[in-house]
Amino acid sequence: MNRRLQKLRQTVGMLLLAGATSAAAQSATEAAIAEYHEMFGDENPAELWEIRGADIWLQKRGPLKADLTGCDLGLGAGVIAGAYAQLPRWFEDTQRVQDLETRLVTCITTLQGFSEEEVLAVKFGDGAKKSDLEALSAYVAAASKGMAIALPMQHPAEQSAYALGKDMFYYRAGPHDFSCATCHGESDKRIRLQALPNLTVSAGAQHAYTHWPTYRISQGELRTIEWRLQDCLRQQRMPQLKFGSAVAIGLTMFLAKTAEGGVMAAPSIRR
Ligand code: HEC
């Protein structure tokens, strides 16, 4: 096990060297992915995040010196198996619809006594700084592997979150007058050689959504769906997405609902 982890860490370093983000480096990145698969088969560095997430879950931390085993992700305190496949959903205690990441923030603040500001100080890792939220997301998402996405969608707030996300998906704005649908509303569309999934149909949404969180080879980081959304809004030249906002949760709800029935395969590995 330790030898395997060491090997995974080495691969991460190797891939980072090959995985510069410029278009010119794209074929180098693709070659690195091919090389990666040749050397490691289905091994995925995301496992490092999963292991760290499991460790954080069980550690007694924060002013209240508590672990996260009492965290209710929608299926009862401490139940993580299948929880991610049913998110986002309505939570009675917070009186809001929450996705995995905002629910983790709720658990960390209420159970361990950290302030929200402290938890959100590192929302997304940048290589040197690791984000606990990403590690925990990997750990929780992995416990839904093989399970079909099935959102409750009974509560009116869940339905309006979905409606807001759908409106947002088709809302055109910004200097280019783009909406999400401009890039993700048709099948077989490509941008700078990258295939763009059609997120308005179930097959496309399933293919995309079931793989997040994912290990991004080009970044050497594990990324969550909130990261993906904020990066796409940036490409759309829209204002920065507020973490855990109604827009973030609505868009996630829209994607998850469209992907319903898809079988969770996260954390995956992506370019
Ligand atoms: C200017 C074009 C563009 C716009 C507008 C855009 N995206 Fe994207 N999106 C991309 C590109 C490029 C990728 C990356 C494809 C890849 O890496 O293979 C991507 C990837 C994604 C993925 C992950 C797909 C996968 O298979 O892993 C999701 C989910 C997504 N976008 C959602 C959205 C949402 C929601 C919006 C609107 C808020 C949006 N995108 C707006 C270009 C766009």
- Give pLDDT tens digits along the chain (271 positions): 456 666 666 665 555 444 444 444 455 556 666 777 776 667 789 999 999 999 999 999 999 999 999 999 999 999 999 999 999 999 999 999 999 999 999 999 999 999 999 999 998 988 778 999 999 999 999 999 999 999 999 999 999 999 999 999 999 998 889 999 999 998 777 666 567 889 999 999 999 999 999 999 888 899 999 999 999 999 889 999 999 999 999 999 999 999 999 999 999 998 8
Q: What is the pLDDT of residue 29?
A: 56
Q: Is the separation of the CB atoms in 169 and 108 below 8 Å?
A: no
Give distance in angstroms: CA of 196 to centre of ligand 1.
Answer: 7
Whose CA is closest to atom 16 on ligand 1? 194
Q: What value, to the nearest 5°, has the Cα angle with vertex 219 and ends 58 and 208?
A: 80
| Two tokens, residue 67 | 């672990």
Q: Is the separation of the CB atoms in 114 and 66 below 8 Å?
A: no
Q: For residue 75, what are the CA distances in angstroms to 19, 80, 136, 231?
A: 39, 8, 17, 30
Q: Which of 183, 234, 254 to mutate to test the pocket of ligand 1 (most atoms within 8 A of CB)?
A: 183
The count of C-alpha atoms lying within 13 angstroms of the C-alpha of 216, restricted to the half-sphere facing its C-beta, is 20
Q: What is the pLDDT of residue 217?
A: 85
Q: Is the separation of the CB atoms in 261 and 242 below 8 Å?
A: no
169/216 Cα distance (integer angstroms): 24
Identity of the residue numbered 91:
F
Give distance in angstroms: CA of 241 to centre of ligand 1.
Answer: 14
Q: Which of 196, 216, 226, 271 to mutate to test the pocket of ligand 1 (most atoms within 8 A of CB)?
A: 196
Ligand 1 atom with the smallest distance to the CA of 208 is 26
Whose CA is closest to atom 40 on ligand 1? 232
Give distance in angstroms: CA of 193 to centre of ligand 1.
Answer: 13
Ligand 1 atom with the smallest distance to the CA of 211 is 27
228/219 Cα distance (integer angstroms): 13
Q: What is the pLDDT of residue 89?
A: 98
Q: What is the pLDDT of residue 20?
A: 41
**Which residues form ligand 1's pocket by a CB distance below 6 Å?**
169, 178, 180, 182-184, 191, 194, 196-197, 199, 207-208, 211, 228-229, 232-233, 235-236, 251, 255, 270-271
Ligand 1 atom with the smallest distance to the CA of 251 is 35
Q: b/e per residue, 34-51, with b = 16+ CB within 10 A?
A: eebeeeeeeebbbbbbbe
